[in-house]
Chain A
Amino acid sequence: KQEVTQIPAALSVPEGENLVLNCSFTDSAIYNLQWFRQDPGKGLTSLLLIQSSQREQTSGRLNASLDKSSGRSTLYIAASQPGDSATYLCAVRSPGNQFYFGTGTSLTVIP
């Protein structure tokens, strides 16, 4: 069974700092990987989706990379802002239309 791990579980950084969130998965046979943001008491908002054939995707200050062979993905946030404070989750889509989620990284950006 696919296992998805996110480290660290929590991260606190000063405003303006660039940061990297990590996601690892045990089975490299994936179709895609999706990064989500979840604000307290809210649903999940899709940030970026990387197909298995792609190496990275960018949206604004966000850049997600994928190394399928090593089972890793990173989410890079440039020039962090207090509004970026949230929990970030990654999810992989495996064969059979199964989606597996990590437990998330709780990010706090300090003004």
Chain B
Amino acid sequence: DAGVIQSPRHEVTEMGQEVTLRCKPISGHNSLFWYRQTMMRGLELLIYFNNNVPIDDSGMPEDRFSAKMPNASFSTLKIQPSEPRDSAVYFCASTRRDLSSYEQYFGPGTRLTVT
């Protein structure tokens, strides 16, 4: 299994630009999570999906952030417009909700720098 795939691995953009982060979960997993990691705040859950449906987006910092999951094998996290304080590493994770273990598997992350 290829694991959770994220792209791009690094993104550098200017303030005000739109940024789109992509995630492909592990095949067969039906829950997907987006996290943000910074030195100051650690790892924060932004939003998660069950069976492609957003369940809890209370962690999304503001309306500039949006996430979609059009099918079971693809999700995007969009920031529009981006700001320097959005600079962080964004992780995607997936799990199989019907398994009692509910073990999360993380992608390698996208390091976002907004100048």
Contact = CB atoms under 8 A, between A and B. Distances in A.
Given A43-B108, A97-B48, A104-B42, A31 B56 contact: no
B102 A93 contact: yes
Contacts of A98: 45, 56
Interface residues of A, number: 24
From A45, A89, A91, A98, residue with most partner B Cβ within 10 Å: A98
A25 interface: no
B65 interface: no
A96 to B, nearest CB: 7
A44 interface: yes
Interface residues of B, number: 24
A48 B13 CA distance: 37
A1 to B, nearest CB: 10
Contact of A32 (B48, B93, B97, B101): B101
B105 interface: yes
B107 A97 contact: no
Contacts of B107: 43
A31 B100 CA distance: 9
A101 B56 CA distance: 17
Contacts of B105: 46
Interface of A: 31-32, 34, 36, 41-46, 49, 51, 89, 91, 93, 96-104
Top 5 A-B pairs, shortest CB-CB distance: A44-B106, A101-B43, A103-B42, A43-B106, A43-B108
